[in-house]
Structure 1
Amino acid sequence: MFDFEISAHCSNTQARCGCFHTPHGPVQTPQFMPVGTLATVKGISTEQLIHAGTQMVLSNTYHLHLQPGENIVASAGGLHRFMGWHGPMLTDSGGFQVFSLGNLNTVDERGVIFQSPRDGRTIHMTPEQATTIQMTLGADVVMAFDQCPPYSATENDVIDACRRTHAWLERCVNAHTRNDQALFGIVQGGCFPHLRRDSAHAVAAFNLPGIAIGGVSVGEPVNDIHRIIRDINPLLPIDRPRYLMGVGTPCEMAIAVANGTDMFDCVLPTRLGRHGTALVGGERWNLRNARFRNDHTPLDSSCSCPACTNHSRAYLHHLIRSEELLGLTLVSLHNITHLLRFTSAMAQAIQDGSFSEDFAPWQRNSPAHHTW
């Protein structure tokens, strides 16, 4: 049910393209997954996601547990029916919130005690509970509950986080009973190469349908992300999808694909969109700038999204300056389309045998500027 078929390799890099099969359809890799934390990609309808070429959507266990609650979702028929998305879905376990809500939680061997940012109530999240919530939500891929340490963590703190992550993974495996879900483990280890390698070996030993690299994009220099990817991917099973969590810029995705990564997620496209910033040609354009006020050309003439095919830069500038919701939706949708087109272009280049020519500069000159 969760076979991963590799259809082509790049002869000069570790890049590969393939197909990850799920109960709700195939996912072509490499693939960017838009983030729909609360069962919605902010400002974007499911129909718009489909038109943009989205194949897989991510939601968050912790936040859905707070609102509306996993039992409400289950009573609607599961997460797919609840949000009206009938393609593949992945739920993060809430482990990232151990990092992002560090001032609201306490970590021990049993799990994490959160103080709800919504109403202040105490929430005890264990690996077993995180797994049970995800089984109730019903996504195709579920993530093991892990401890994501901040970049500032000491080596001893990261050692403790890895030990918990591996122990919690075993508890997640024991608690997970749905055959129609794929449980992915998560490699941690901060920026300490020996801890990363130890974690990769420990997680790979569970022989799960896929493995994620977590604990990146938490404040570390970008070159550390590249080094972690280069060091860890060769230690992971070659016949399973590799998922780099929280990364979604073209530069970092290209370097990661060149080093054998398959799946990505990031809030970047919608976060930028909500602030009126568009991804165009490898650059970020602030559409509030006056230079767009009388520019009646398309935002990106090579893009087929509604913002580019139906409207001008001047109109988008007007919407953003007027704080109209339509403007934020159009720019967010454009940014998602941009990243989906980018991963699709990488897949096509791998199939055509041109990846090393078209994308190799990303790997050689990290970090690089790209005018795709």
Structure 2
Amino acid sequence: MNISHAWTSVWRMALMALVLILGLGLGQQALAQADPDREIATAVPSVDADAWRQIRSGETGPNFRSSRFDSNYNLINASGENWRQLRNRWVSPFGLIAIGGMLAMIVIFYLIFGRKRLDEPKTGRKLPRWPLMMRSLHWTVATLFILLALSGLNLFYGKLVFKPLFGDSAWSGMISASKLVHNYLGPLFGILLVFLLLRLFKENLPKKHDLVWFKKGGGMIGKGHVDAGFANGGEKVWYWLLATVGIAVIASGLVLDFPNFGQSRDTMQWANIIHALGALGLTAVALGHIYIGTIGTEGSLEGMTTGYVDETWAKEHHNLWYEKVKDQTVTKEQLAADHGNTRGGDQAAPRTS
């Protein structure tokens, strides 16, 4: 089986899983709409000033109490109102500023500087950079990240955007599908992200030359290229954001995803705040990562799609790594022949040119 056939199979499986999840979401939506008016009318009695006095004093009766066995927790309480205010007044604006600001920065940067082109023509000689297993893991994690980001944004802002545009029925279907996608794909994303972080740990350890990389703005300040190993300073920052903020998002998401392990509602409220802040921040930074890795830098996407990078790209962007692997270059002809003879779809052993 060659690389293209293996890659096609991976994407077909991912597409089938997505279709299944969306189908489940639409089914849940139909069940939820059976009698929504009666549910709203009987869910909770009216909350007036006297009820709020009781809530703040903790004197609420059984009508406001959790239905869990032997529970004395009040469903309506002052901490819930504090959580709502924090979420709406601080977390929600933070997300809009972070994501909107990053999009604006990308557009302005592109209009001013354009795409980062290679200083020298491509040689046509290739260096192996990403094996098939790493590329498959990267694209799977990236796809899950995008699905989780879109579904999370819909859960957070969808009511303000899509409900007025499409009405209650369409919006409820979108919310139901988003909730299923988020709840079921979140743990899978967490597991695969940990595998990815462990695999890339050694390449992302900080080095002294990373300080110079930052001082020169990744090569934008001053003349000449800045030193970089397998990963440059910017890529290492993204890695450690995923290894810290990303793990916090995963942990808080698991607290929310599995509320049956004895955690209190207060704990889940804080988990919700941590989850939202971390996820919104990572989404904003991910937009920059996606831009730089695709249209922002010539030759970058090639490494993660084919597994190989051009010799010129390696010299200009990762010169220290290039010096270690420059004897592994292969020509286009050798690469085509190796891929034609390789079984299992992985890269062939590199040849010296």
- Taking structure 1 as the reference length, the TM-score comes to 0.20
Higher strand share: 1
- Taking structure 2 as the reference length, the TM-score comes to 0.21
Structure of larger gyration radius:
2
- Specify which structure has the bigger relative contact order, considering alpha-carbon pairs within 8 angstroms and separated by 6 or more residues: 2
Higher helix share: 2
